[in-house]
Amino acid sequence: MHHHRIRRTALVAAVVGATVVASMGTGSVAYAGVTAPVGDVGKFRQTFVEDFSTAAAANGPFAARYAKAWQPYPDGTGGMYWAGSQVSAHDGFMDVALDGRHGAAGTFGTPSGAWSHVGGKFSVRAKATGGTGNGAAFMLWPSSDVWSDGEIDYPESNFEGSPMLHQHSMTPGQEANATSMSTGVTWRSWHVYSVEWIPGRSVRYLLDGKVIETVTSNVPTTAHRYMFQVGNWGAAGHLDIDWVSTYRYTG
C-alpha cells in the first residue's frame, strides 16, 4: 500500500437544497454547494456520489453500510491506519476520529469501479476540527502503485496550515518534485475541493467552484484511484467529509 507522508510546513441536473452554482467561464458549470451534487458537469459524467446520510458506528457498522462507497486500508496497515475503528457516520457526514495514535486511509467508490479512473472530476466537501499536528492528503494515486504514473494531491497539508495542491513529477527518480500551490483557506471551515483531470492534457484545481490553478505538465494517462490518508501523530480531532462525488471524462 502507498503511504503518503503529509508535508509538515456540473451542470446540475437537479437542484438540491442550498445548491450554489458558479460559472467557470469555459462553458461548463462548477458545483460548490452544501448538499451533494446531482448531475453531469460539462464533459464530466457523474458516476458516483455519497453524502453519508445514514448514521453508522465505527468498528463494523460503517464498513458494512458504506461497502459500496468506501474501500478502507486494512486496519493496522503500515502501523499507521485503522479506518475500521476510526471512521463513522453521523449528522450527515463521514467522521474520521483522530486520537494521536490511529490514522485512517481508504479509497472512495465501489469495489469494482474505485480503481479504474482514467481522467475525470473528483470533488469532496471537507473540514477538520482540532488535530493540530495531524494532516490529510486527498489524492489521485495510480492503481499500478507506480509513483511515476503520476500523483495528484488536493487538498493536502497539516490541519493547522492551509490546504495545498501538489502535482508530482512523472519522471522516474524525480517523483518527489511537484508543482504546488496554497489555497489560502483554512481546514477549519467547510470547503469544496475539486480536481478536473483530462488525461495527458491538463489538471484543473477548483476551490468552492472556482478554478485556482491549471497544470498541463506531468498529467497522468493511466488508471488511478481517488482516496485519502490522514495522519496519526498529532493532537486529537476530527476530519469530517460531508460528501464526495466522482465523474468520468467523456472527451
The span from the CA of 19 to the CA of 144, in Å, is 36
pLDDT at 231: 85
pLDDT at 34: 84
Domain residue extents for the chain? 44-249
Pick one of 2.60.120.200, 3.20.20.80, 3.90.76.10, 1.10.760.10 as the CATH number of 44-249. 2.60.120.200
Nearest alpha-carbon partner for 193 in 148, 230, 226: 226
State pTM to two decimals.
Answer: 0.88
Q: Is the CB of residue 94 less than 8 Å from the CB of residue 241?
A: yes
Q: What is each CA distance from 213 to 8, 30, 138, in whole angstroms?
A: 22, 14, 17
What's CA 16's distance to the chain center, in Å?
22
pLDDT at 14: 24
- Which residue type occupies 65? R
pLDDT at 27: 29
pLDDT at 76: 94
Tens-level pLDDT at each residue, the chain (251 residues): 444 544 333 222 222 222 222 322 232 345 667 889 999 999 999 999 999 999 999 999 999 999 999 999 999 999 999 999 999 999 999 999 999 899 999 999 999 899 999 999 999 999 999 999 999 999 999 999 999 999 999 999 999 999 999 999 999 999 999 999 999 999 999 999 999 999 999 999 999 999 999 999 999 999 999 999 998 889 999 999 999 999 999 98
Q: Give the contacts of 142 (CB within 8 A, at least 6 positions apart).
A: 149, 150, 151, 220, 222, 223, 224
